[in-house]
Structure 1
Amino acid sequence: MKQFRTGLGVLALATLAGCGEKASDPVVENEAAAVVEVTAEAPVEVKVVVVTMFEIGEDMGDTAGEFQLWKERAGLNTHYDFPQSFHDLYINSETGVLGMVTGMGTAKSTAAIMALGLDPRFDLSNAYWLVAGIAGFDPADGSIGSAAWAEYLVDGDFGHEIDAREMPEDWETGFIPLFTKEPYQKPNPMNQGEMFHINGDLAQWAFDLTKDLPLPDDDKIAEMRSEYSAFPNAQKPPFVMLGDNLAGMTFWHGELMNDWANKWVDYWSEGEGEFVSSGMEDTGTAQALFYLDRAGFADYDRLMVLRTASNFTMPVEEGQTAAESLTGEGEDYAGLGLALEVAYQVGSTVVEEITSNWDTYKTAIPSTEGSSDE
Structure 2
Amino acid sequence: MRIVLLSLLSCLALSACQPGTDAPTQTTPAEAVKTPAESAEKLQVKAVVVAMFEIGEDEGDRPGEFQFWKERYGLTEKYPFPHGFHDLYYNPEKGVLGMVTGMGIARASSAFTALGLDSRFDLTKAYWLIAGIAGIDPQDGSIGSAVWTDYLVDGDLAHQIDAREIPEDWSTGYFPLFANEPYPEQEGEVVARNGEVFQLNTTLVDWAFNLTKDIELMDTDAMLALRSKYTEMPAAQLPPKVLRGDHLSASTFWHGKLFNDWANDWTAFWTNGKGNFMTSGMEDTGSYQALTYLDNAGLADKKRVMVLRTASNFTMQPTGMTAAENLASESSGAGYAGMLPSLEAAYTVGSTVIDEIVLNWDKYQDTLPGQQ
TM-score of the pair, normalised by structure 2: 0.88
* Secondary structure of residue in 1 paired with 2:164: helix
User: In the superposition, relative to structure 1, how do residues 33 and 173 fare at CA in structure 2: closer, same or farther (>3 Å)?
Assistant: closer
**Is the counterpart of residue 148 in structure 1 residue 147 in structure 2?**
yes
The residue correspondences of 1:332-371 to structure 2 (distance < 5 A) are 333-367=336-370, 371=371
User: In the superposition, relative to structure 1, how do residues 192 and 342 fare at CA in structure 2: closer, same or farther (>3 Å)?
Assistant: same
Corresponding residue of 1:225: 227
Q: Percent identity?
A: 58
CA distance in 2, matches of 1:37, 1:108: 23
User: In the superposition, relative to structure 1, how do residues 266 and 118 fare at CA in structure 2: closer, same or farther (>3 Å)?
Assistant: same
Corresponding residue of 2:287: 285
Question: Which amino acid is 2:48 matched to?
Answer: V
- Does structure 2 retain, via aligned residues, the 8 Å contact 1:254–1:315? yes
**Is the counterpart of residue 69 in structure 1 residue 68 in structure 2?**
yes
Corresponding residue of 1:275: 277
Q: How many Å apart are 1:72 and its aligned residue?
A: 0.2
Question: Which amino acid is 1:130 matched to?
Answer: L
Q: How many Å apart are 1:327 and its aligned residue?
A: 2.1
CA distance in 2, matches of 1:84, 1:173: 40
User: In the superposition, relative to structure 1, how do residues 35 and 229 fare at CA in structure 2: closer, same or farther (>3 Å)?
Assistant: closer
CA distance in 2, matches of 1:298, 1:189: 25
- Does structure 1 retain, via aligned residues, the 8 Å contact 2:149–2:205? yes
CA distance in 1, matches of 2:298, 2:369: 20
TM-score of the pair, normalised by structure 1: 0.88
User: In the superposition, relative to structure 1, how do residues 137 and 356 fare at CA in structure 2: closer, same or farther (>3 Å)?
Assistant: same
User: In the superposition, relative to structure 1, how do residues 32 and 157 fare at CA in structure 2: closer, same or farther (>3 Å)?
Assistant: closer
The residue correspondences of 1:27-176 to structure 2 (distance < 5 A) are 33=32, 42-176=41-175
CA distance in 2, matches of 1:39, 1:73: 25
* Secondary structure of residue in 2 paired with 1:243: strand
- Does structure 2 retain, via aligned residues, the 8 Å contact 1:143–1:236? yes
Corresponding residue of 1:185: 184
Q: How many Å apart are 1:223 and its aligned residue?
A: 2.8
User: In the superposition, relative to structure 1, how do residues 171 and 33 fare at CA in structure 2: closer, same or farther (>3 Å)?
Assistant: closer
* Secondary structure of residue in 2 paired with 1:228: coil
Q: How many Å apart are 1:35 and its aligned residue?
A: 5.2
User: In the superposition, relative to structure 1, how do residues 122 and 32 fare at CA in structure 2: closer, same or farther (>3 Å)?
Assistant: closer
CA distance in 2, matches of 1:291, 1:314: 35
CA distance in 2, matches of 1:221, 1:40: 46
CA distance in 2, matches of 1:297, 1:31: 31
- Does structure 1 retain, via aligned residues, the 8 Å contact 2:109–2:286? yes
CA distance in 1, matches of 2:39, 2:65: 31
CA distance in 1, matches of 2:30, 2:239: 41
* Secondary structure of residue in 1 paired with 2:330: coil
Q: How many Å apart are 1:39 and its aligned residue?
A: 6.2
Q: Any stretches of 5+ residues in structure 1 without a counterpart?
A: 1-26
Structure 1 runs (4+) deviating above 4 angstroms are 27-41
Question: Which amino acid is 1:197 matched to?
Answer: Q
CA distance in 2, matches of 1:108, 1:360: 34
Cα deviations by residue, 1:51-89 (Å, 9 ceiling, x for unpaired)? 100000000000000000000000000001101111110
- Does structure 2 retain, via aligned residues, the 8 Å contact 1:174–1:183? yes
- Does structure 2 retain, via aligned residues, the 8 Å contact 1:293–1:300? yes
Cα deviations by residue, 1:80-128 (Å, 9 ceiling, x for unpaired)? 1101111110010110111111011111110000000000000000001
Corresponding residue of 1:300: 302
Q: How many Å apart are 1:298 and its aligned residue?
A: 0.2
Corresponding residue of 1:311: 313
Question: Which amino acid is 1:138 matched to?
Answer: D
* Secondary structure of residue in 2 paired with 1:82: coil
1:263 to 255, 259, 265: 265
Corresponding residue of 1:324: 325
Cα deviations by residue, 1:158-214 (Å, 9 ceiling, x for unpaired)? 011011111111110111111111111122354210001111111111000000012
- Does structure 2 retain, via aligned residues, the 8 Å contact 1:48–1:127? yes
- Does structure 1 retain, via aligned residues, the 8 Å contact 2:183–2:269? yes
